[in-house]
Amino acid sequence: MKDQDALLSVIGRIYDTLLEDAPEQGWLDGLRDWIGAGHACLNEVGASTRWWSCSRFSVDDRALGDRFVREPDYALALEQAPVMQPVRLSAFVPVDDLRRTDMYQELIRPMQGGLAAVCAWRRDRDLHALTLCRSAEDDDDFSDEEVAALRPLLSHLRNAVRLRARLLALETALSQVHAALDAVQDGVLVLDAAGRVRHANVSARHLLAEGDGLRLEYGRLRAARGEDDRPLQALLQATLAPRGALHGRRGAADPSLLPGTGDALLLERVRPRRPLRIAVAPSLGGARLLDGDAREAAIVLVRDPDRAGACTTASLMALFGLTRREAELARALGDGNSLSAAAVSLGITEGTARQYLKGVFVKVGVDRQPALVGLLSALA
């Protein structure tokens, strides 16, 4: 019986390293050593994908492996493996038959393969497989006990592969969003529910580094001048507070300090420059602007009137998670068009425009068209 404590250690290592860069080789090294294989591979075979990762391989073996995983016969062999059920390759491809193939002589034998325990599963339309290999020339085939010992491992490995795929997709999407924010001329700061700045685009980092008008103190935004800081903090607190919290809650923001609906807060600067314009919009936390467990609660927009900028469709999509049509409608309204005129310019009916506008209100965090126009004017 394979050592179950050693198996638990392998499973624990899989989850411990899930967030590391390219942890798959470490997983496979542990599996190979635990089962007593020559090498271990993870594969993804799809209509247009041929991804694989392997335990420690020489450069020459890696080149052979790259060729091998693209062989149609290999994909066919994986297709024959039962789902979530470990099986010996020799059960459906006899070793003697395999040895007579060119693929074995040219690719498998030089990699010290030929005997394998295969575990397959599907995700969407792609086939995934764990393959543990031994040499058909020098080693014994995997025993019934060894194949059975792989069963407890399968669900954990499948889950880890799925989580890795989702994490990588989120990281890619997040990097694209951050790149879009960096392309925005205005400063953009993303705050969490506690009011801490969790992300700042390039323009915002430049403004904070100058410290003229706006600065960062212990992770929170402060106005450079004391007389401007009270209204700034009131605006941030009102935006971060749950709806209705301004009424009857001790320590709530003083409404008299808040700018009017749709207005931008002005922060004077020490140098002879025009004031910074600040607008704050609540976020529902669904725009995926932050990594880790934090969710965005507010987006602070900082316009430097001495620096050219534009409220583009792309920037609205990145800032608020709007669809392209929603962003185009918001821009049209921000330019002073009525809803009916904006609908005509976009080639849609006024009823469709109203449906788009409802989505804009939810994502931007306003409930009236004047408030939306006022917010957009801070970016104009």
Q: Picking from 14-28, 99-113, 120-134, 262-276, which range would have the lowest pLDDT averaged per residue?
A: 262-276
Question: Is pLDDT larger for residue 239 or for residue 183?
Answer: 239
Decide which of 248, 280, 308 is a domain's last residue. Answer: 308
Highest mean pLDDT among 139-153, 161-175, 264-278: 139-153
Whether residue 88 is found in the same domain as residue 224: no
**pLDDT single digits (tens) 307-349:** 755 567 877 887 788 899 999 999 899 888 899 999 999 999 9
Average pLDDT score over residue span 236-260: 55
Q: Determine, yes or no, domain membership for 176.
A: no
In the chain, % helix, strand, coil (3-state, to 5) comes to 45, 20, 35
Q: Are residues 157 and 73 in the same domain?
A: yes
Given a cut of 70, whether residue 293 has pLDDT beyond it is no
Same domain, 150 and 52: yes
Q: State how many domains the chain has.
A: 3
Q: Do residue 96 and residue 239 come from a single domain?
A: no
Amino acid at 63: A
Of 308, 331, 349, the position where a domain reaches its end is 308
What CATH number does residue 356 fall under? Answer: 1.10.10.10
Of the candidates 261, 285, 380, the one whose C-alpha atom is nearest the C-alpha of residue 330 is 380
Same domain, 17 and 164: yes
Q: What percent of the chain has pLDDT over 70?
A: 88
In this structure, what CATH number is given to the domain that contains residue 55? 3.30.450.80
Asked whether residue 162 falls in the same domain as residue 147, the answer is yes
- Tell me: do 100 and 117 sit in the same domain: yes
Q: Which residues pair with 133 in a beta bridge?
A: 39, 116
Tokens of 126: 């792609």
Establish if 180 belongs to a structural domain.
Answer: no
Query: Do 50 and 151 belong together in one domain?
Result: yes
> Which residue type occupies 282?
P
Look over the chain and give the mean of its residue pLDDT values, rounded to a whole number: 83
Mean pLDDT across the stretch 270-297? 73
Residue 28 corresponds to which tokens in the numbers above?
């496979």
Please choose, from the candidates 138, 36, 52, 32, the residue with its C-alpha nearest in 3D space to the C-alpha of residue 95. 138
With cut-offs at 50, 70 and 90, classify the pLDDT of residue 287.
Answer: low
> 252: domain CATH number?
3.30.450
Residue range of the domain that includes 333: 310-380
Strand, helix or coil at 80?
helix
One domain for residues 105 and 24: yes
199 with 160, same domain: the answer is no
The last residue of a domain, from among 170, 198, 220: 170
